[in-house]
Chains A and B, each alone.
Chain A
Amino acid sequence: MATPDPILSLPPGLEAAKSEVLPPLINIKPINWFFDLNRAMSLWPVTFGLACCAIEMMSVSMARFDMARFGAEVFRPSIRQADLMMVTGTVTRKLAPTVVRLYEQMPAPKYVMACGNCAISGGPFKFEGQYGVVEGVDQLLPVDVYVPGCPPRPEAILEGLFFIQEKLTSRRWWPKPQELPPDPAPAAKGKK
């Protein structure tokens, strides 16, 4: 798990999450691998959206993109039953203590996905003299995967989920999406 970056300074009055994840009691590699595989295939996200990016999180769990295909369909209304926190949106200073508290209430093993530019770095709200936004949720919580975009496409959020699964089991389980055919060169277009 990534540790919060000490170089970035938190706004006064805020504290980063303190809880740490202990190593497993029974530390036998094949057993751990088996449990991790099971975990990876049923990551339960928490129903938790902070701003506009949450719309994409809803979309990714609905029929068209259907996150359920990859085991992450059960959105839990209680953080105590979840193991994936998708920070979708702007972390404001007002809400930051609550986000930290929610993270600390989550039972380990726990994973954090920073969805969208706001959660990664403050996004469009990062400017000189801003007073209301935490510039990056990684100042508060250890983040496992960053999904950039404003907002990220649902496919990108799925990729983020695959990264967490890969992190747990050290392999990618799903086929790589097909690349789009390259755009015809502008010159060739003109000739027609």
Chain B
Amino acid sequence: MTEIEKLIQRFKQAGAYVISNHNFKKEGLTVSAVIDASQLKTLAKDLYRQGYSLLDLSTLEVKEGFLLTYHFDKFEKPGRIALRVLLEGPGPIAPSLYEIFQGAEWHERESHDFFGVKFAGNPNLIPLLLPDDFQAPPPLRKNPESLTSLAALKLFGSYEILSSRWETIINSKVENIS
């Protein structure tokens, strides 16, 4: 079993919703998985043990909620992977990876600055890039009508869906691509 296959198996074990294989040359990713927020910390710890480091955390506001994407990579050889977490509903909150990758603290603060996503366990969730006394709502929040749906984004290369909820999300009809 190759390393990638092992990873995929591990993701499945952790109850991943969607697992996709990507074309590394085209997309810069080998595997990505949509997982539940509750599994994030255990999987991140696993990856840490295998020598992965956290590259970045990006947040995207879509119709369904907030999609957090964590990129991981190894220093020794190429093979970037991504873990995605969808936070639905008002008051998005995700577990903090601060205890595993300390650098995550800043990425999380940035997300909190611009989207208002909260991270449980981040010891210092104060503005990173915005001024301390910034009053207005998070500046990168969109107005609800102009949001695109996840299905329109074509994020998942060749994918395998393991949850019925995600079946509906990914296969839903795309209405507006602007």
Contacts and interface: CB of A to CB of B under 8 A. Distances in A.
A167 interface: no
Interface residues of A, number: 8
The B interface is mostly helix, strand or loop, or mixed, namely: loop
Interface string B125-138: 00101110111100
Contact of A94 (B130, B135, B136): B130
A93 interface: yes
Interface residues of B, number: 9
A184 interface: no
B28 interface: no
A131 interface: yes
Interface in B99-148: 127, 129-131, 133-136, 139
Interface in A100-148: 131-132
A132 B135 contact: no
B13 to A, nearest CB: 43
B129 A13 contact: no
A12 interface: yes
A13 B130 contact: no
A132 B133 contact: no
B133 A131 contact: no
B135 A93 contact: no
Nearest to A93: B131
A133 B134 CA distance: 12
A13 B133 contact: yes
Nearest to B127: A94
B135 A13 contact: yes
B115 to A, nearest CB: 13
16 contacts: A13-B131, A13-B133, A13-B134, A93-B130, A93-B134, A94-B127, A94-B129, A94-B131, A96-B131, A97-B131, A131-B130, A131-B134, A131-B136, A131-B139, A132-B130, A132-B139
B128 to A, nearest CB: 9
Contacts of A97: 131
A96 to B, nearest CB: 8
Nearest to A14: B131
B108 to A, nearest CB: 18
B171 to A, nearest CB: 35
A145 B72 CA distance: 49
A94 B110 CA distance: 14
Nearest to A13: B133
Contacts of A131: 130, 134, 136, 139
Which are the 6 A-B pairs with shortest beta-carbon distances? A131-B139, A13-B133, A94-B131, A93-B131, A131-B136, A94-B130
A97 B131 CA distance: 10
